[in-house]
Amino acid sequence: MKKVLIVLLVIFAWSFAQALIDLNTATLEELKTLPITEQQAQDIFEYREFVSFFESIFDLRKIESIDQKTMLKIREEVKISRYTDADEVDQRREEIGYLLERLGESEGSSEGMNDVWADYLMSPQNINYMLYEDLISIPNVSAVDAVAILKKRSLGEKFGNIRDIRTTQGMSYYGYSNLRHYVFFDDAKALNRVYMDYQFKIESQDFEEDSSDMYKEPQIRDTYGYKVYVEEDLPILQEIYKEIRAKDNSYYGYFNLDKYKPAVSHKFRARYSNKYKFGLMDFSDKTISPTVDKGWTDLRDDAKYYAGYEDKYQAYEGFGGTYFLKAYAGHYRATYGEGLVMENTDFYSPRKTGLGFSKRIMGITPDLSKSQSTALRGGAVEIKNDYFTSSFFYSNTKKDALVYMEKYVDENDKTWSIPVKDENGNYKVFSYINSTIRFDNDDLAEAETHFNEELTTTSISPSGNETGYTVDYLSLAPRKNIINEQIIGGHLQYNPIIGTRLGFTTYTATYNNAEFVVPESNDLMRLLIRGDNNYNKWKQPNSSLAAMYSTKTDSYDRDYRRVIGFDGGTVINNVSIDGEYAELSVDGDDMKLGDDPKAYLIKAHTQYNNFYFLTLYRNYDLDFDNPYSNAFAEQPKYDDTILDKNVYALTNPLIADVYNNSSQAQAEKGFYFETRYQFHRNFILGRTYLDIFERVADARNTVRFQSEIEYRAFHQLRFKLKYKNQVNRYADDAERGVSNTQEYTLNARMLLSNRNFFEIEYRYNTVKSPPYVSLTNPAEEGNNTHAQSMSYMNGDYIAVNYTHILSPKLKFRGSVCLWNGYDISHWDWEDIELDFMGDRGFKYWFTIQNNISENIYLSFKYKTKIYRTQELFIRKYNELDDLVDLEIPTYYDRVEKRDNTFRLQIDYRF
């Protein structure tokens, strides 16, 4: 062990010796670590940013504060890299990759949002014509930064290079350093040029844990009524379970989901003169063989496309100056305000403040993301100038939905689940659904018939116990492209002065072949839960399901859903204030506010160079059900409901996708505070937040706190300590739902030469729940009724991450980690993807990024994960030991799994 430590110390010492500071790329904080004064570091930084890059060490003498003695003192600690004007697209691609890595390290992200960012940021804009919404859509560009740019332009000054941005009064360093990569300065460079980009991606990826559990949930006959008290019952039970084993009684088994081909996507983008834009994406998700005799079938084959035109026009004097026009046909995104009325994305991100790395891309933009449930396809037009913005959008698409089913027995005694229609031929629909796999409707119908055969089976034991479900068939099921949805909407905005805006947004979604019907609570319970023995799982959080929107109720019958809202904001010096109010039209007056379900949010952001502070308050009504909303929240809609916690009890496990892939915010109200402060050259209080909120569905009070502090011993070595604490239902210590989750993370990072780094991270988690009385079910005499002691779970995780840049064109990244879950969920941010781990395991992954030539960029990732799954039980009381002795599959032990996945991406510019 001593020899190993000596070798490691030698390696570390050598690494530090190699980590010279590059005067042409170092940040101001890195320059301050040199043995010079802070003023001298500032002078070096400003010379490089505003005068010229360094060509040799002797250029330091051109700086007034740097004398010969100072230059000689630092010459052994610095280096001068050769500066070249790199291709703007290569720079932008590198920055996008860095952005996505930072986004994941901060909060974790989804692949879908990564697609959105990459599409948007690969199309630069001329900063001399960008308006407020264009500027604040750039990562880490705040409202204060945007106003600083606009005010400088209002004085008649034109931006000619990046140094003009940096010298803008009121512009923060973070705003400048991010904005410069996504803008250009001269339209002449874009004239008469065609830019084209083709991307090919192939990847194998296993199901996430929730989706895997959902598909593996067995669809078997009811055996709850059996009581193994007499010997005569045992052979019957053995025979029943033998018969069950012989069938593919889960979606996972029936569709052979363990055998799938990788997902493949082709994406093509083109633009001419930055005016004419065209895009096309063909995407096929995991393809599988539903049955042995059907061969390989594409379960999801979705193409997206757009054609657009963007230009500016000079109006007559006195008519508003320069006007900007956007017009898109095909697929597009529409986003306004704080995302309460309209932000069409399928991907949910927690604590989406609209600041830093959790930005919204405002207005109308083209869409080649993988969003399907909220995709808009049709036409959109946006006209704006410095004072007004006017947007109109129209969409006509087919949507997937969770449909009511009725039982139908054919002449062969097969039990089918048939979609329910009303007297007008309209489908009876429960809700939209964003299915993890969009099965073909005919294949799904055949699978349901197969499962219904098992679910309708009843038996009577010798002791007289009869079994049978209350709902003995699949009474709700997803159907692909079942709803005809037509959307008409728009946005109007007035900007009286720079940085101040008032906006109005609305949309109406019309359905000409479906009606949304959500029953009352008790009827809803019987609709969603298969057996009456699980009715006790129906808890207060399920009120959010009962509050879903209906187009047909006892008081009205309509064919539409309408949402209206107002948003606004202003900037006062270094403080920005923003907010939005939205209302779902139900049975109130559209011209009157406050008489329908509502949601509103207001926030204030204060910005300094080394410090910011955010205060946010949100309040969302329980029955504000807007599928196109993607607002700030701690959890997605339907969290902690039966769709989340009790998939085994559902009439159809696939119903769980309503929660699994929800992009809406849950109904909650409360305050959120966030800050970051560099209070010393060696210490940084990293992103720190405190969220105090109430979940409206059951009035559960929650406090969530996170903070991190970074110590920079010197430039090459940094330590970070992170702490997270969440307490649910903190107001009542005796409440069964109280839990306390704590997470401690220690991170050490070494910055090596040429942007290489080596990092080791250790994380420890605990979850505590207080004592509560646990009654067995059924609560019969003699059963356990004593109070349970405090439950305690813990787990830890250790990882080593590294990056090695072999050359300017070749980069290698990877990680090795081990974890012990002990029923605690661990997560890990790897490359540009978020991974949730199993109970206990080990994994490693690596990514190779290579610019093969000037126009070809390649990225390859490979991952191996070996882990144990959690125990799985068939939920059955009192007979557990007897059934295990009978070798009946009531209990499945942890199973060790090995997953090998890869991702290959090739980008070609021509």
What is the per-residue pLDDT for 74? 86
Beta-carbon-side half-sphere exposure of residue 137 (alpha carbons within 13 Å): 26
Evaluated on CA atoms 141, 145, 147, 150, the torsion sign reads negative
pLDDT (0 to 100) of residue 787: 46
CA–CA gap between residue 708 and residue 36 (Å, rounded): 29
pLDDT in tens, 411-462: 888 888 899 998 889 999 999 999 988 888 999 999 999 888 888 876 655 5
* Cross-strand pairs, 603: 578, 616
Rounded mean pLDDT, 535-557: 90
Helix (H, G, I), strand (E, B) or coil at 47: helix
Q: What are the φ/ψ torsions at residue 98 (nearest 5 degrees)?
A: -65, -40
Helices (H) and strands (E) in the chain, counts: 19, 40
C-alpha separations of 279 from 118, 158, 268, 293, 685 in Å: 13, 32, 6, 37, 43
Decide the pairing of beta strands 514-516 and 427-432.
parallel
Lowest mean pLDDT among 533-542, 592-601, 775-784: 775-784
Q: What is the pLDDT of residue 893?
A: 44
The model's pLDDT over 679-729, given as tens digits with 9 standing for 90+, comes to 888 899 999 999 999 999 988 899 999 999 999 887 778 999 999 999 887
What is the dihedral sign for C-alpha 149, 150, 156, 160? Answer: positive
Structure tokens given for 211: 């989706």
Least confident of 88-92, 209-213, 548-552, 707-711: 88-92
Euclidean distance between CA atoms 501 and 497, whole angstroms: 8
In sequence order, what are the residues at sequence separation of 6 or more whose Cβ sits closer than 8 angstroms to the Cβ of residue 611?
675, 676, 677, 678
Element (H, E) at 675: strand 668-680
Mean pLDDT on 518-537: 89
Q: What is the domain class of 2-79 according to CATH?
A: mainly alpha
Strands 363-366 and 376-384, by their bridges, are: unpaired
Task: State mean pLDDT over 538-554.
Answer: 90
Q: Is the pLDDT of residue 595 over 80?
A: yes
Can you read off the two tokens belonging to residue 799? 């990882």
Kindly state the helix (H) or strand (E) to which residue 884 belongs, with its residue range: helix 880-885
Q: Is the peptide bond before 778 cis (omega within 30 degrees of 0)?
A: yes
**Averaged pLDDT for residues 389-402:** 95
Q: And the tokens for 206? A: 């296993």
Between 357 and 646, name the one with better pLDDT.
646
The pair of structure tokens assigned to 61 is 């003498």
341: left (phi over 0), alpha (psi -120 to 50) or beta: alpha
With cut-offs at 50, 70 and 90, classify the pLDDT of residue 891.
Answer: very low
CA dist list (Å): 169 to 149, 172, 219, 335, 570: 8, 9, 65, 29, 18
Q: Using 50, 70 and 90 to split pLDDT, how confident is the model at 805? A: confident
Give the residue with greater pLDDT, 772 vs 172: 172
- Structure confidence at residue 466 (pLDDT): 63
Residue linked to tokens 């029955």:
623
Domain residue ranges of the chain, discontinuous segments joined by +: 2-79, 91-202+261-396, 753-769+794-910
Q: What value, to the nearest 5°, has the Cα angle with vertex 665 and ends 664 and 671?
A: 165
pLDDT at 855 over 70: yes
Angle between helix 88-106 and helix 111-121 axes, rounded to 10 deg:
150
Q: What is the pLDDT of residue 909?
A: 80
pLDDT tens, position by position, 198-248: 989 998 877 877 888 888 888 877 765 454 444 555 566 556 555 555 457
d(CA 357, CA 340): 19
Q: Looking at residue 295, what is its pLDDT?
A: 39
Half-sphere exposure of 80 (CA within 13 A, CB side): 13
- For residue 46, count CB atoms less than 10 angstroms from its CB and return exposed for 0-12, middle for 13-18, buried for 19 or more: middle
C-alpha distances in Å from residue 532, one per residue of 203, 250, 536, 777: 43, 21, 8, 13
CA angle centred on 91, ends 89 and 96, rounded to 5°: 90
Q: Residue 72's pLDDT band (boundaries 50, 70, 90)?
A: confident
Lowest-pLDDT range of 281-285, 702-706, 731-735, 785-789: 785-789
pLDDT at 308 over 60: yes
| Listed ranges 463-477, 616-630, 821-835; the one with the highest mean pLDDT | 616-630
- Tell me the DSSP string of 60-99: GGGSTT--HHHHHHHTTTEE-PPP----HHHHHHHHHHHH
pLDDT at residue 747 tops 90: yes
What does the pLDDT read at residue 293? Answer: 41
**Residue 711 CA to chain centroid, in angstroms?**
30
Helix H segments across 246-329?
A: 251-254
The pLDDT value given to residue 145: 92
